[in-house]
Amino acid sequence: MSDLLERLRARGWRMTSQRRVVAEVLAGEHVHLTADEVHARAVARLPEIARATVYNTLGELVAIGEVVELSTDGRAKRYDPNAHHAHQHLVCSNCGLIRDVHPTGDPLTVLPPEERFGFTVSKADVTYRGLCPACA
Amino acid sequence: MSDLLERLRARGWRMTSQRRVVAEVLAGEHVHLTADEVHARAVARLPEIARATVYNTLGELVAIGEVVELSTDGRAKRYDPNAHHAHQHLVCSNCGLIRDVHPTGDPLTVLPPEERFGFTVSKADVTYRGLCPACA
DNA sequence: TTCTTGACTTGGACTCTGTCCATCGTAGGA
DNA sequence: TCCTACGATGGACAGAGTCCAAGTCAAGAA
């Protein structure tokens, strides 16, 4: 976690208390929080932090590749701090629980050239869906 | 397209002019429209149709499996009438263009049992991302 | 054909998520 | 310590979608 703070400092980020708190919230637990959840946890540590600041910081973290943005349900985007290990997501269709998973092989290889329609394909996001043990 | 209307009638749907128009808009072109785009096209045929009715009808079509809902960008959901042939989506990261694609093999098989965490996994949604020929 | 009724539609208010912007505050270099 | 440009603030705004009370009408019954 201070890892992340180090990397941000190395990138020339001005280290404000707000940015520190957002980075700490994300680094603290490997779950997939919405922006509002990040804000709620941040407020617990720094009551005056504004919603817009959380959105700005999350957007910047995504832009530099420290955090991955995912929208598994078309509602609020979620932020995944586990950006340095390629993985996909397994989502419970009932309760929304999300787990990081690691399929075998590279999902890009199964898309043959004639199915790429001239696109330069750079990545594949896979969302596995089903029921978690508690909902099944 | 009258195919779809037949199937809806067979399911006991009350065939109102609104539902007919929404079904026709979707069946008419194999693109991926947002709810608002469906509404705009529906209004062209039936000026009084309400936005809520379009949302209701789309939701019902999704629920019975006649239409697939996709959210490729975390913004408006899109509706894909091509629900009877399994496929995935290829999205341009720049302009948002979406194409239906058919990868080889079944994406579910690459998720080993020990990576399923007790979930009953029923499907995999794959979004390939890259640049389309026009944006590359 | 007309009647009846409950399913469907309407439209406006509301919620949720996210963005914008003018103003204020402060981190960090000189 | 002082400066100043970068970042934070908070309130207004926008886009997407949901909700609900009241009105309408498709389709079966008579």
Q: What is the DSSP string of chain A?
A: -HHHHHHHHHTT----HHHHHHHHHHHH--S-EEHHHHHHHHHHHSTT--HHHHHHHHHHHHHTTSSEEE-SSSSS-EEES--SS--EEEEETTT--EEEE--SS-GGGGS-GGGSTT-EEEEEEEEEEEE-TTT-
Euclidean distance between CA atoms B71 and B47, whole angstroms:
27
- Domain locations along chain B: 2-80, 88-130
Task: Indicate whether A30 pLDDT > 80.
Answer: no
Task: Indicate whether A1 pLDDT > 60.
Answer: no
Nearest Cα residue in chain A from B111 = A103
In order, the DSSP letters of B35-74 are HHHHHHHHHHHSTT--HHHHHHHHHHHHHTTSSEEE-SSS
- Give the pLDDT confidence of B44-94 residue by residue, as tens digits: 999 999 999 999 999 999 999 999 999 998 899 999 999 999 999 999 999
- Residue to mutate among B110, B127, B132, with most A CBs inside 10 A, is B110
Euclidean distance between CA atoms A116 and B117, whole angstroms:
33
High-pLDDT (> 90) share of chain A, %: 90
Contact assignment for A74 to B73 by CB distance below 8 Å: no
Residue with tokens 């407020």, as numbered in its chain: A43
Residue length of chain B: 136
Euclidean distance between CA atoms A65 and A81, whole angstroms:
10
Task: Could you please state the CATH topology (level 3) that the domain comprising B2-80 is classified under.
Answer: Arc Repressor Mutant, subunit A (1.10.10)
- Residue to mutate among A70, A85, A93, A120, with most B CBs inside 10 A, is A120
- Name every chain A residue with its beta carbon within 8 A of the beta carbon of B99: 117, 119
Give the residue-averaged pLDDT of A3-19. Answer: 93
The tokens of A132 are what? 């978690």
Interchain CB contact of A118 with B (< 8 Å): yes
CA B27 to chain centre: 11
Strands B98-101, A98-101: pairing kind: unpaired
Shortest CA gap A6–chain B (Å):
30
Interchain CB contact of B45 with A (< 8 Å): no
For residue A90, name the pLDDT band (cuts at 50, 70, 90).
Answer: very high
Strands B88-92, B120-131: pairing kind: parallel
Contact assignment for A92 to B133 by CB distance below 8 Å: no
CA A8 to chain centre: 17
Report the SS3 class of residue A133: coil
Euclidean distance between CA atoms B3 and A66, whole angstroms:
48
Q: What is the pLDDT of residue A26?
A: 95
Per the CB < 8 A criterion, the answer to whether A76 and A69 are in contact is: no
Whether any strand C atom is under 7 angstroms from the Cβ of B94: the reply reads no
Interchain CB contact of B71 with A (< 8 Å): yes
Q: What is the pLDDT of residue A2?
A: 61
Task: Indicate whether A21 pLDDT > 60.
Answer: yes
Q: Is A42 exposed, middle or buried (0-12, 13-18, 19+ CB in 10 A)?
A: buried
Strands A78-80, A33-34: pairing kind: antiparallel
Report the SS3 class of residue B41: helix
Q: Which residues contact A109 (CB under 8 A, 6 or more apart)?
A: none
Q: What is the pLDDT of residue B74?
A: 86
Q: What is the pLDDT of residue B121?
A: 98
Euclidean distance between CA atoms B68 and A13, whole angstroms:
42
